[in-house]
Amino acid sequence: DTGVSQDPRHKITKRGQNVTFRCDPISEHNRLYWYRQTLGQGPEFLTYFQNEAQLEKSRLLSDRFSAERPKGSFSTLEIQRTEQGDSAMYLCASSPGRGYYGYTFGSGTRLTVV
Amino acid sequence: GEDVEQSLFLSVREGDSSVINCTYTDSSSTYLYWYKQEPGAGLQLLTYIFSNMDMKQDQRLTVLLNKKDKHLSLRIADTQTGDSAIYFCAEGNNDMRFGAGTRLTVKP
């Protein structure tokens, strides 16, 4: 297993465009998390899934943000009508879901909105 | 709301011990964590401590937890230049909360 994979590594987009990021978790992990990290800050929780069920989404930053995990494997995070303030690193993590032994993070997708 | 706070910078000499401190506000977390982030890389789980413990040792790492004061610390013994990174304290269950990170610089 190669760990948590995120694609793309970098994305530059024009303000107003939609973007979608993909995360492939560790295959035996049934929990998947999305976080956002801005410069000089720690990661900020956005949402998480247990298998295909999205169990917490109230912390998504606005209704422009949505996430899916249709078959309980990979997940996508979409940002519609991007704004310059959306520029950040978007991190995905996964965990086995038994106990709370921390997450395995991916390397992230760096979004720049110009 | 819940907050996790850390000092932003720490500088030590190679071979010395480093101590990174963290305070948190939410007492409902089952575990508390330390993560390490190197430049251009994702966060790597270093160690964690169950909330009912007050100390955990793992090779060069010692975690101390004072639950009454909501204070967590990470001690790195014999600090090496390869330990230079940003260290994040985190607490929570499924919606983990992170501090802003402590940048550790190790001077030769």
Cross-chain residue pair A102–B98, CB shorter than 8 Å: no
Pick the residue from chain A with its C-alpha nearest to B35.
A102
| B15-33 per-position pLDDT tens digit | 999 999 999 988 888 899 9
- B87 has a chain A CB within 8 A of its CB: no
CB contact under 8 A, A42 and B45: no
Size of interface A-B (CB pairs under 8 A): 59
Q: Are B99 and B22 in contact (CB under 8 A)?
A: yes
pLDDT at B2 over 70: no
Q: Residue A113's CB: how many other CB atoms inside 10 A?
A: 19
Question: Measured between beta carbons, which residues in chain B are less than 8 angstroms from residue A93?
Answer: 43
Task: List the alpha helices (DSSP H) in B1-108.
Answer: none
pLDDT of residue B95: 84
Q: Whole-number mean pLDDT of chain B?
A: 93
pLDDT of the residue at A100: 64
Give the 3-state secondary structure of residue B42.
coil
Flag whether residue A25 sits within 8 Å of chain B, measured between CB atoms. no
Contact residues, chain A, for B36 at CB < 8 Å: none
**CA A99 distance to own-chain centroid:** 21
Q: Could you list the pLDDT tens digit for every one of the 114 residues in chain A?
A: 579 999 999 999 999 999 999 999 999 899 999 999 999 899 999 999 999 999 988 888 889 999 999 988 999 999 999 999 999 999 999 998 766 667 899 999 999 999
Q: What is the β-pairing status of strands A88-95 and A31-37?
A: antiparallel
Nearest CB to A42; choose among B41, B88, B94: B88
